[in-house]
Amino acid sequence: MAYCSNCGNRLTEGAKFCPNCGHSVKKQTTANESMEQPKIVYVQAPQQDIYVHERKSKGLAMTLCFFLGWMGAHEFYLRNYFSGSLYLIFFWTAIPLFLSILDFIVLFLTPKSVFHKMYDK
């Protein structure tokens, strides 16, 4: 049974207004209905320049050195831009080819922990 919240008069089932005072009647809810579901609000965060730590792969460096070492591709991958440029400038002399063979041997013999300390920044 429902009662008017304004005057306390007894209301009939489904009444929208109190017949005594004319006050609008709100639907009474049960305990389960009174618990509102939380609303999910999506807020877009402002754009920020976030530096993502890039981990270099030893296997990829070795593959680049083996196949494209004469052009200095592995040097560019490892962010040694100056030596990579020298490899590109002098690739026609075959000197970078021999240097890339040495680089491949050094990369092969370097432990992963030392490799990551040297090239991950």
Question: pTM score, two decimals?
Answer: 0.57
Q: Is residue 23 a contact partner of residue 6, using CB atoms and an 8 Å limit? A: yes
- pLDDT: is 12 or 106 the higher one? 106
Whether residue 7 contacts residue 18, with contact meaning beta carbons closer than 8 Å, is answered with yes
In the chain, the percentage of residues whose pLDDT exceeds 90 is 52
List of residues 6+ apart from 24 with CB closer than 8 A: 16, 17, 18
How do residues 27-38 score in pLDDT, each as one tens digit? 655 555 555 666
Contact between 25 and 11 (Cβ < 8 Å) = yes
Domain assignments of the chain as residue spans, ordered by start: 1-30, 58-119
pLDDT digits (tens, 9 = 90+) for 91-120: 999 999 999 999 999 999 999 999 999 998
Q: Is 90 exceeded by the pLDDT of residue 62?
A: yes
For residues 42 and 9, the model is more confident at 9
**Amino acid (1-letter code) at residue 73:** A
**H or E segment and range at residue 117:** helix 112-119
Q: CB neighbours (10 Å) of residue 101?
A: 14
- At residue 6, what is the residue type? N
pLDDT band at 49 (very low <50, low <70, confident <90, very high): low
